[in-house]
Structure 1
Amino acid sequence: MGLFEISAPPKGLELQYKELFTTEALNFVAELVLKFESEVEQILRDRQIKKIQLDKECVLPSFLEETKHIRDSDWRVAPLPERLLCRHVDIGDISPTNQELFHKALRSKASGVQVDFDDGHCPTWNNQIIGLYNVQQVVAGKIPDIDIATSPLLMLRPRAWNMMESNMMVNGKQVPGALFDFGLLMYHNAASLHRHKSGPFFYLSKLENHIEARLWEEILTFTEKQLKLPRGTAKVCVLIENILAAFETHEILYELRDHSLGLNCGVFDYSASIIQKFGKWKGFVLPDRQKYVSMNEHFLQQYLALVVQTCHQRACPVTAGMAAGVLPSNNKQKSQEIIENVLKSKRTEVVAGVDGFLVYDLGLVEPALQLLQEPRECVPKLNNQITSSDLLRIPQGGDTMEGLKHNIAVTILFIYAWFQGEGHFVYKGNVEDSATAEISRSQIWQWIRHQVPLETSTSTAAMATTESTPVTIVTVKLVKTLIEAFLLDCHNSDVMYKQDSRRLEAAARVMENIVTSREFLNFITTYLYESNIVKYMQKME
């Protein structure tokens, strides 16, 4: 066994630390790391090589010829356990650090709870310990009125490959965050979840191809063997939230066929990945996401159809993304409007063939369940030929001042939330997490990079009669001006920001560095986690 080191317990968490980080548990994580870290490192290198090839050769992705036999052959994933056969509505973005909300979600009527160590979670050392401990307490049956055999399923979501865990070292190197989270969740909880026929079940995020899925299959198989669990006990739902992964949906399921519980679609991570991979190309400038990027657009319709067809052909469920609306506690009319808007947008996905989706607000669970019990308006056509150009057809539309301001606000406030140790926040009636922060900062970077003109409020007819209609170009200067205006507005309108102006100012400066960098930063969370200023700001009183 290699030499491992782990950081000391934070003050006040000594008992939780002692229960989680036993010698046996840490040896198990270290064993996972020693066996698989070289493959994780190779995946990250392969991602870099692929990006360089895309930038240099300008060759668009397509369906793989060498795996055509997998797409064309008749196979299915292994049968699902009974509790996964009717998983309609999961509650998303539930960081187990928020004990009150976590427990409340597990007492709801939802099918499952996305126990999130990724997009909706900020992985400070405190948060990792509290979150892992809270999961362990639930699984051990120590929380009143929560029985894992009957409560919503724990859909555990470890960090993705891009994140490291700086508080544990094996042979002098930080361990992959995914292996740290997955290893401890499995070690402490898998046997009990299996005994109660309730898991362990996982969401796996940010995979880019079937080779990465193959690595997870190896990890799952090895872990089951080490923990003396039957093969196929763990089941995983892969989030198809990367444009490259969309071309390998069958292959990803095939690699994980003994452990798969289906695929999931997510609009904003998926859209951000298009900028991540093709953002330097002018033909891939994504328009205002609030105005022009929705499931009604062709590239997203076809992406959803592809995932639906893949899952139904392979006999596993497909789930759609999260409804981010937050219901106000004291305005029934506004709440009803939000519910109706959510049901309208999700009905489109249900008609397209999804078997379920996620919501954030617990008040949306029952309306969502009712929607999924409605008769389907049509049966989706299987084997519809979806082409590479379908997936890569960027929607028409411009970029707006409102959209630019919104993206600036979301990015700054996400960084500010991380400075406070929070992985998500509510803004203008919606929960925002790293997925929306990614698309927001990506669009700003891309609009600056390509000097994109903003739409004006002037009508087309009026513009035809006006020879010198001014056009606003997205530039670094404009973005900096809007940042200052946003800071001033926050200072004047919210006492919290006024009292915490240093943190908010620092968040704005970090955001400015990210969106004006010469090269596109792959993940905002990786940048923040590895940044010393974040650790400093989290310690500020």
Structure 2
Amino acid sequence: MELSPPPSGLEAEHAALFTTASLHFLHELISTFDDEVDQILGLRVSRKVHLDLSGDLPDFLESTAHIRTDPTWKVLPVPQRLRKRHVDIGDMAPCDTQRFIRALQSSAQGIQVDFDDGNCPTFYNQIKGIHNVIQAVNNQIPGVPDISQAPVLMLRPRALNMVEDNMMVEGKETPGPLFDFGLLMFHCGKKLFEHKSGPFFYLSKVESFMEARLWNKIFVWTQQKLGLPLGSIKATVLIENVLASFEMEEIVYELREHSAGLNCGIWDYSASFVNKFGHRQAFLLPDRSKYVNMEKRFLHSYMDLLVQTCHRRGALATGGMAAALLPQDMHADARTKVLANVTRLKLLEIAAGVDGFMVYDLNLLKPMQDLFQKHTDGDNQLHVLRDDVKVTPKDLLVMPSGGVTLHGLKYNIAVGVLFISAWLSGKGHFFYRGQVEDSATAEISRSQVWQWIRHQAHLEDDGSLVSRRLVTELTQELRRELRRSCSSARTEQTLDTAADMFLEVVLKRRFPEFITSYLSQDHTFLNAQRAGQEETRPQPAKL
């Protein structure tokens, strides 16, 4: 095993995380499951190639029909602390110490402790974030409630497509999720279990029940190694991929001893349509700012099916995150409008039967908690079985009608460029036009621009073509506009690099599967994440 030395300023945290015992545990975990992670990623590629060559569309699996038609199986009941999570805080990158502390002190029922969508996985951020979680679990942060009383921590490691290049095991970079999960479990698992507050996880970007099966094996192995009872770990799977929506029941089944349910969200899920079918004209996704929302058939069908699937098996179903930022002025019209819009969208989720959802802005906690309590009865909505739901493959695959607008094109370009700029600066999210934007919104933004160029879409405004030339011109226009507010030459350089990289991504012949994978494997990111460290960096130490 080879481990990079600590980032400057985190020497003590590095030493606390990477003890002889934790490194031994990580080595065992990673060497045991590394090949299976590679196999899963290979299966994803194989499945995509099959869809491309055959022209087939996904369907509910015949081979697993017996699981779906068997009414007798249920998940193990979730622990008490998971039964009432009306409003969680989402996109909580724990390396942001002050925001993490405010979240722990808040009235939220849970916190999505995010090493994935809302986090930029520099070595500094991972070490700082994991160390902050350890301190919170061990009640070492002044002014924060005991872990048994604070909002429950829902730990979200990186998705399977991400790697940790600062640790090599048996000659290979470490899978990012195993690095995050292993350190969190080794340092926090027992303590969370003893305080009846975990260990609880989110699993990102799962595409099939085979991936859920792998995670279940990882959970069983980890519990045995750490002396925890079977079923101690509970996990909520984020259904962020269209292929996974056809296997939701099988995913819950594979994790039935460890399942905390499923979660639905709009933007990663919508982007997955471009990922899997974007080269097909029939799957041209219209302007998301105008035509894509949870009221559209393909999205409300997916949410209805998710709630029905979970509740018939005794599992919890949670909705997405409200990304809006609430204006501070209590009497401002803008505040009233934002609150009304968030309320309308969250009422749709409550009506669908979700057991909770997330907000980014802590100021939305109380109004959304009040909303949930006003329109529901009890800790959750597990009693809402949604027997009325009859979702077909067509319901899940039909694209909403609508076109492309200049506003939508400019908005997508801005989100894509600004996300890459934030990422190169070591941040996983940023604020733009009254909302928080993260890798999920960057994913749908760059996906749509790529697809509109690919299919030579026309703007509703004047009929002009969405072309390579137009996108390049609009990106350069945005670059000039943003440079006016740059505070330093370095900021300008980062912005210029981000604009160039955005164009590279959206003009590629082949669609890069994940923007985060693309960025994390690019030399500009690897250089940027080392910013602030000493210029002459020693070679990785062999352990």
Q: Same fold (TM over 0.5)?
A: yes
What is the distance in 1 between the residues matched to 2:468 and 2:135?
Answer: 49
Q: Deviations over 1:255-309 (max 9, x none)?
A: 0000001100010000000100000100000000010000110010100000010
Q: Deviations over 1:336-376 (max 9, x none)?
A: 32122111110011011111100000000111111111235
Q: Give the aligned partner of residue 88 of structure 1.
A: 86
What is the distance in 1 between the residues matched to 2:508 and 2:327?
Answer: 38
Q: Give the aligned partner of residue 65 of structure 1.
A: 62
What is the distance in 1 between the residues matched to 2:489 and 2:124?
Answer: 26
Q: Give the aligned partner of residue 374 of structure 2.
A: 374
SS of the aligned residue for 1:511 comes to helix
- State whether residues 491 and 498 of structure 1, in contact with CA within 8 Å, keep that contact through their aligned partners in structure 2: no
The amino acid that maps onto 2:526 is: K
Q: Give the aligned partner of residue 464 of structure 1.
A: none
Q: Give the aligned partner of residue 22 of structure 2.
A: 25
- Are 1:401 and 2:398 matched, yes or no? no
Deviation for aligned residue 1:498: 7.0
TM norm structure 2: 0.95
- Are 1:421 and 2:421 matched, yes or no? no
SS of the aligned residue for 1:217 comes to helix
* Corresponding residue to 2:126 among 122, 125, 128: 128
- Are 1:249 and 2:248 matched, yes or no? yes
The amino acid that maps onto 1:19 is: A
- State whether residues 491 and 497 of structure 1, in contact with CA within 8 Å, keep that contact through their aligned partners in structure 2: no
* Corresponding residue to 1:36 among 10, 33, 38: 33
- Are 1:234 and 2:233 matched, yes or no? yes
What is the distance in 1 between the residues matched to 2:385 and 2:349?
Answer: 11
TM norm structure 1: 0.95
What is the distance in 1 between the residues matched to 2:82 and 2:209?
Answer: 23
- State whether residues 287 and 293 of structure 1, in contact with CA within 8 Å, keep that contact through their aligned partners in structure 2: yes
- State whether residues 412 and 507 of structure 1, in contact with CA within 8 Å, keep that contact through their aligned partners in structure 2: yes
- Are 1:509 and 2:506 matched, yes or no? no
- State whether residues 155 and 200 of structure 2, in contact with CA within 8 Å, keep that contact through their aligned partners in structure 1: yes
Question: RCO (CA 8 Å, sep 6+): is it higher in 1 or 2?
Answer: 2
* Corresponding residue to 2:472 among 480, 488, 509: 480
- State whether residues 169 and 175 of structure 1, in contact with CA within 8 Å, keep that contact through their aligned partners in structure 2: yes
SS of the aligned residue for 2:318 comes to strand
- Are 1:178 and 2:170 matched, yes or no? no
Q: Structure 1 pair 310/353, CA: closer, same or farther in 2 (3 Å)?
A: same
Deviation for aligned residue 1:385: 1.8
- State whether residues 154 and 201 of structure 1, in contact with CA within 8 Å, keep that contact through their aligned partners in structure 2: yes
What is the distance in 2 between the residues matched to 1:536 and 1:250?
Answer: 42
Q: Give the aligned partner of residue 351 of structure 2.
A: 351
- State whether residues 114 and 157 of structure 1, in contact with CA within 8 Å, keep that contact through their aligned partners in structure 2: yes
- State whether residues 448 and 476 of structure 1, in contact with CA within 8 Å, keep that contact through their aligned partners in structure 2: yes
What is the distance in 1 between the residues matched to 2:228 and 2:487?
Answer: 49
- Are 1:265 and 2:264 matched, yes or no? yes
What is the distance in 2 between the residues matched to 1:514 and 1:266?
Answer: 24
Q: Structure 1 pair 214/407, CA: closer, same or farther in 2 (3 Å)?
A: same
Q: Deviations over 1:8-45 (max 9, x none)?
A: 11121111111100011011111111111111000001
Q: Give the aligned partner of residue 513 of structure 2.
A: 522
The amino acid that maps onto 2:54 is: E
Q: Give the aligned partner of residue 5 of structure 1.
A: 2
Q: Give the aligned partner of residue 340 of structure 2.
A: 340
The amino acid that maps onto 2:356 is: G
What is the distance in 1 between the residues matched to 2:336 and 2:508?
Answer: 42
The amino acid that maps onto 1:487 is: R
What is the distance in 1 between the residues matched to 2:433 and 2:385?
Answer: 34
The amino acid that maps onto 2:456 is: Q
SS of the aligned residue for 1:500 comes to helix
What is the distance in 2 between the residues matched to 1:426 and 1:43?
Answer: 34
Deviation for aligned residue 1:471: 1.8
* Corresponding residue to 1:440 among 442, 445, 449: 445
Q: Give the aligned partner of residue 541 of structure 2.
A: none
- State whether residues 319 and 354 of structure 1, in contact with CA within 8 Å, keep that contact through their aligned partners in structure 2: yes
What is the distance in 1 between the residues matched to 2:41 and 2:279?
Answer: 21
Q: Structure 1 pair 273/287, CA: closer, same or farther in 2 (3 Å)?
A: same
What is the distance in 2 between the residues matched to 1:129 and 1:387?
Answer: 45
- State whether residues 352 and 380 of structure 1, in contact with CA within 8 Å, keep that contact through their aligned partners in structure 2: no
What is the distance in 1 between the residues matched to 2:102 and 2:305?
Answer: 35
What is the distance in 2 between the residues matched to 1:380 and 1:235?
Answer: 22
Q: Structure 1 pair 21/537, CA: closer, same or farther in 2 (3 Å)?
A: closer
- State whether residues 87 and 356 of structure 2, in contact with CA within 8 Å, keep that contact through their aligned partners in structure 1: yes
What is the distance in 2 between the residues matched to 1:10 and 1:446?
Answer: 39
Q: Give the aligned partner of residue 200 of structure 1.
A: 199
Identity %: 51
Deviation for aligned residue 1:332: 4.0
Segments of 5+ residues of structure 1 without an aligned counterpart are 457-469
Q: Deviations over 1:421-461 (max 9, x none)?
A: 000000000000000000000000000000001112xxxxx
